[in-house]
Amino acid sequence: MILTVTLNTALDLTYRVPALRPHTSHRVTDLRERPGGKGLNVARVLAALGHEVTVTGFAGGPTGRVVQDLLTGTAGVRDALVPVAGATRRTVAVVDDRTGDTTQLNEPGPVIAPAEWSAFQEAYEELLGGADAVALCGSLPPGVPVGAYALLIRRARAAGVPVLLDTSGEPLRRGVAARPDIVKPNAEELAELTGSHEPPGAVQDARRRGAGSVVASLGPGGLIAATPEGRWRAVPPARIRGNPTGAGDSASAGLLSALVERLPWPERLTRALALSAATVPAPTAGEFDRAVYERLLGRITVTAEVAAA
């Protein structure tokens, strides 16, 4: 079983409009709702790949009940969300059909009480006992300590469970110092962590700060990775147009699934990048176009840039 942690779960709403223009009314041509938050997106992709997945984090209020109802209908995903008094947040993505661009509006999330945070930690400890790997993903809701991910990483390491971390800002900085097995930032998050806008050097720097391996998403530029076996770059054959929301989460799912399957790094990066690119033409985050994914598997270029990291 793979465990994904989403402390700031959400109900994701995706609106499509013919053209997004400020200061005007818009007619929505399509509306989709789904369980959201980075870890839930990762879980849905992992389940589509055939892995057994358990999701945990927080859920509360009417919005939280909708999220859990939607999870009930997701094959391969078990709901272990911890109830809270506050209401689960909503996120709204507005897709402009004319340009393909997406505008994202994210609510902050419910305030988590100390007793609720303690209840989550107890649930997490129990779930680790049956986990082959764990993904810690996304932002922290108000009330959760900024060092929460560092704490959860240390507990996973004590239980012998490998950890992937995908977050940003101070939670990322503290989490890296706790020595997760894989850190997956995007280019902006990597630059914020290291102070460098040169990804080859920045992934190396992030490893020196404590991460076992660092895999950075470079958008259309693919992935760059610093690992104990070497430094790698994975490049897609062409840019795919569509909505990139959730592409990074699909990359995390690819890395985590390949870790559990003990694949070598070139195959891990190929899977991660193919899933990421195949998410762009999909209707919403947490989904991928399987035909695009399978076509890309044989067309992605992975290059070893140095012999050892």
pLDDT digits over 48-63, tens only?
Answer: 999 999 999 999 999 9
Q: How much is the pLDDT for 305?
A: 79
pLDDT digits over 216-230, tens only?
Answer: 999 889 999 999 999
Q: How much is the pLDDT for 245?
A: 81
Contact 72, 79 (CB under 8 A): yes
What is the residue-averaged pLDDT of the chain? 93
Q: Please say if the pLDDT value at position 309 is more than 80.
A: no
Concatenated DSSP letters of 12-56 = EEEEEES---TTS----SEEEEEEESHHHHHHHHHHHTT--EEEE
Residue 306, SS3? strand
Going along the chain, which residue ranges are E strands? Answer: 2-6, 10-17, 30-36, 53-59, 77-79, 82-83, 89-96, 102-106, 133-137, 163-166, 182-183, 213-217, 223-227, 230-235, 301-306
Active-site residue, from 12, 166, 181, 249: 249
Averaged pLDDT, 171-191: 96
Of the chain, the end-to-end C-alpha distance in Å amounts to 30
Element spanning 269, H or E: helix 265-279
Residue 307: pLDDT band (50, 70, 90) is: very low
Q: How much is the pLDDT for 274?
A: 95
Contact 46, 53 (CB under 8 A): yes
Q: How much is the pLDDT for 306?
A: 56
Q: Please say if the pLDDT value at position 75 is more than 80.
A: yes
Q: What residue type is assigned to position 232 of the chain? A: W
Cα gap 87→270, rounded to integer Å: 38
Q: Please say if the pLDDT value at position 7 is more than 60.
A: yes
Task: Tell me if residue 97 is catalytic.
Answer: no
Residue with tokens 């340009």: 99
Q: How much is the pLDDT for 239?
A: 80
Q: Please say if the pLDDT value at position 42 is more than 90.
A: yes
Contact 15, 92 (CB under 8 A): yes
pLDDT digits over 85-114, tens only?
Answer: 999 999 998 988 888 788 889 888 999 999
pLDDT digits over 227-262, tens only?
Answer: 999 999 999 988 887 778 889 999 999 999 999 999
Residue with tokens 């280019």: 187
Residue 283: pLDDT band (50, 70, 90) is: confident
